[in-house]
Amino acid sequence: MERLSRSATASLRMRPGAVNPHGRGIFPAMYADIDRILISHERIAEKVRQLAGQITADHAPDKLNGGEVMIVPIMTGAMIFCADLIRNIPIAMQIGLMTVSSYPGQSVRSQGAQLLGKKLGNVRGRHVLVLDDILDSGGTLGAVVPAVRAAGAAAVKTCVLLRKNRPVAMQTPVDYVGFDIPDEFVVGYGLDYNDYYRNLPDIVTLRPQAIAGQKKST
Ligand code: 5GP
Ligand code: MG
């Protein structure tokens, strides 16, 4: 894990995955809020390709008994993971959406999974793969998987990019896992704090001031 000094944080601005599309001069305060990079965008990209390879092999036509595939990202955190993953899975698929909130606003611990909405389309007979950014208490998958089953899916599998190294997460059944990480609050690559930081390309921890101060980054 990289611990960032102030100057290293500044040099983040030069890293290819951290390029500000508006040019070098305007760097959002959000980069100064980073404590350390837990997983770089290069490692994420490599892992996403590996996961996609496994998922593609497991959903080959002879394994589907004529059924079709539906991918269900859990919004909003799984949005970026889903976008990258599905472009590496060369099979016909439909996308359904589930919106769940468990870290509302400025929470850094789960407040319990709340199903806020769904736009699943026709799940009946589909082989559904539920995607989430991170597995923590298991409450989110515990709410979504039964709901997808109840909608008539032929099979439901689960995939998370991250899993926190804590007993409740390690004991939650999940079919595909990207990285096991320490039990810390992380943001970036879709994960937020108060809806900010989702657009960071790396998965990072935040400086305590960024959380305690409830500072807004732009
Ligand atoms: P669980 O329901 O398993 O406790 O937690 C999963 C959900 O909580 C994820 O979909 C994500 O929205 C949120 N979550 C859990 N841990 C973190 C974290 O470290 N950072 C952020 N930003 N969200 C988290
Ligand atoms: Mg979530």
Catalytic residue among 136, 180, 192, 202: 136
Give helix 41-58 / helix 79-86 axis angle, nearest 10°: 60
Q: What percent of the chain has pLDDT over 70?
A: 84
Per-residue confidence (pLDDT) for residue 16, from 0 to 100: 41
Judge whether 74 and 98 are in contact, CB under 8 Å. yes
- Does residue 172 have its Cβ closer than 6 Å to ligand 1? no
Q: Is the pLDDT of residue 129 over 60?
A: yes
Integer Cα distance of 29 and 66 in angstroms: 51
**Ligand 1 contact via 186 beta carbon (within 6 Å):** yes
pLDDT at residue 128 tops 90: yes
Residue owning the nearest CA to atom 5 of ligand 1? 136
- Dihedral sign computed on CA atoms, order 92, 94, 95, 96: negative
Question: Which of 99, 101, 140 has most ligand 1 atoms within 8 Å of CB, for mutation?
Answer: 140
pLDDT score recorded for residue 5: 47
- CA 3 to ligand 1 centroid distance, Å: 23
Ligand 1 atom nearest 113 alpha carbon: 2
Q: What is the pLDDT of residue 203?
A: 97
Q: Residue written as tokens 């002879």?
A: 62
Whether the pLDDT of residue 11 is over 80: the answer is: no
Give yes or no for residue 144 having a pLDDT over 50.
Answer: yes
**63: pLDDT confidence band, cut at 50, 70 and 90?**
confident
Per-residue confidence (pLDDT) for residue 66, from 0 to 100: 85
> What is the percentage of the chain residues whose pLDDT exceeds 90?
66
Q: Which of 102-111, 116-125, 131-140, 174-183 has the lowest mean pLDDT?
A: 102-111
Q: How confident is the model at residue 14 (pLDDT cuts 50, 70, 90)?
A: very low
Average pLDDT over residues 37-51: 97
Amino acid at 191: L
Cα-to-centroid distance, 185 and ligand 1 (Å): 8
- Does residue 195 carry a catalytic annotation? no
- Is the distance from the beta carbon of residue 134 to the nearest atom of ligand 1 less than 6 Å? yes
What's the mean pLDDT in 102-117?
77
Domains contained in the chain, CATH given: 65-102+112-183 (3.40.50.2020)
Task: Give the per-residue pLDDT at 3.
Answer: 52
The finding on whether 98 has its CB within 6 A of some atom of ligand 1 is no
Q: Report the amino acid identity of residue 3.
A: R
What pLDDT score was predicted for residue 28?
61
76 touches ligand 1 (CB under 6 Å): no
- pLDDT surpasses 60 at 213: no
